[in-house]
Amino acid sequence: MTTETTPAAVTTRATTTPPLRERLGDNKVLGFIGRLIKQRPMGAFGAAICILLLLTGIFANVIAPEGYNHINPIDRLKPPSAEYWLGTDQLGRDLFARIVHGAQLSVIVAFAATTLSIVISAVIGITSGYFGGRFDMASQRVVDGWMCFPDLIILIVAVSVLGPGTWQVILILGLLFGISGSRIVRSSVLSVKQNIYIHAAQSMGASTLRILVMHILPNVMAPIIVLFTTRLAAVILAESGLSFLGLGIPPPAPSWGGMLSLDGRSYMFQAPWLAIVPGVALTIAVFGINMFGDALRDILDPRMKGAGSGRYVAAVRRDRPSSMRPAGGKAQ
């Protein structure tokens, strides 16, 4: 087969492509945001909270340049005022600064641990689901075994072995959520694997690696993204829980959970804002991420895929006759 082609085709190509691709790119992002706001206003609200959290985390040092551990004994346990927006704690530290830096800590832990967990889930889920057979059997029994233990016990044991600290928390939470999440990835791989285009790729001689990376992974991205957002909230909660129990990130680091536990509980009646403020911050963050995650799941749901012009026609086409099930096919 020659690579010769009609010159006309090539020229039209060259002139029309770049704008088309740009348009497509724009439409996708804008269209997604538009759809989010229109179909899931709560999801858009959640997304706004997530962005706020992210920005707070990134610019913590700009917003609160004095840092989270600036002790000012004169201004101990001040209620919220114009000077200290959210009041101060028993060491006179500005609670606002601590919350802002706590957001940074939460963002770091949440993203690092969730990313780690997603990578673990994807690797276990994709290989186990695609290869099936004995490999699947073996790896799933290991996952079963792991999931038999209550999370809290694993956490306590791991912390007592590794000691408290930020990277330890990230590692433990990543592993914990990664292994349980592999189930979700695996089940979507199992359904994607049934598709004929996978068979087509195999029969054209594509390597296994190519099939996994080019065909399986992009088609399980939707559940992976959804998994990511739901895990994000869970990780923030888990980190707070650990810190609350004293197993997480040790003071003076401004972990929201730790603040709730140490300062909040001790001065609950004298200075209620010490408990209320980190609690509310935690609630808003988790609520926002969950709302966004739910909306994302609804929009990325595989059944809704191929939206736009094709979707509706497809719904009408269910009356279609021979389409998927003509007399000769399937059973073989």
Partner 1 sequence: MSEAIANQPLGNASAPGTTSSLLQVDSLRTVFRQGRREVKAVDGVSFSVARGETLAIVGESGSGKSVTAMSLLRLIPSPPGEIIDGDVFFDGRNLLDMTEDELRDIRGNEIAMIFQEPMTSLNPVLTVRQQLAEPMRVHHKVKEEDIEARCLDLLRQVRIPDPETRLDAYPHQFSGGMRQRVMIAMALACEPRLLIADEPTTALDVTVQAQILELLKDLTRQHGSSMILITHDLGVVARYADRINVMYAGRVVESGTALEIFEQPRHPYTLGLINSMPRLDASEKARLIPIEGQPPDLGNLPPGCPFSPRCPFAVDQCRREDPPLEPYQGQHLKACWVNVDE
Partner 2 sequence: MSDTPLLEVRNLKVHFKLPGTLLRPKSGGSVKAVDGVSFHLNRGETLGLVGESGCGKSTTGMAVLRMTPVSGGEIHLEGEDITHLNGRALRPLRRRMQMIYQDPFGALDPRMRVLDIIGEPLKVHKLVTGRKAYRQEVLRLMDLVGLLPDMCERYPHEFSGGQRQRIGIARALAAQPDVIICDEPVSALDVSIQAQIINLLKDLQEELGLTYLFVAHDLAVVRHICDRVMVMYLGHVVEVADSETLYTNPQHPYTQALLSAIPIPDPRAESRREVDPSIEGEVPSPVNPPSGCPFHPRCKHATDVCKQVAPTLQDTEDGHGVSCHLYEPQSEAEPSTRVASMA
Q: Which residues bind partner 2 (CB under 8 A)?
A: 1, 3-6, 9-10, 12-13, 16-17, 20-21, 24, 195-197, 199-207, 210, 214-215, 218-219, 221, 305-306, 308-310, 322-324, 326-332
332 sits near partner 1 (criterion: CB under 8 A): no
Site string for partner 1, 295-324 (x = CB under 8 A): --------------x-xxx-xxx-xxxxx-
* Among partner 2, partner 1, none, residue 265 binds (CB under 5-8 Å by kind): none
* Among partner 1, partner 2, none, residue 15 binds (CB under 5-8 Å by kind): none
CB of 301 to partner 1, least distance (A): 15
Sign, CA torsion 106/33/42/219: negative
CB of 30 to partner 2, least distance (A): 17
The beta strands (E) that lie in the chain are given as none
* Among partner 2, partner 1, none, residue 73 binds (CB under 5-8 Å by kind): none
Give, in order, the Cα–Cα distances in Å from 1 to each of 4, 5, 267. Answer: 9, 11, 81
Q: Smallest Cα–Cα separation from 162: which of 171, 153, 149, 175?
A: 171
Residue type at 99 in one-letter notation = I
CB of 192 to partner 2, least distance (A): 10
* Among partner 1, partner 2, none, residue 16 binds (CB under 5-8 Å by kind): partner 2
Give, in order, the Cα–Cα distances in Å from 189 to each of 121, 184, 201. Answer: 12, 9, 15
CA dist., res. 128 & res. 113, Å (int): 22
Q: Which residues pair with residue 88 across a beta bridge? A: 94
CA dist., res. 307 & res. 123, Å (int): 29
Query: Where along the sequence are the contacts to partner 1 (CB under 8 A)?
Result: 309, 311-313, 315-317, 319-323, 325-328
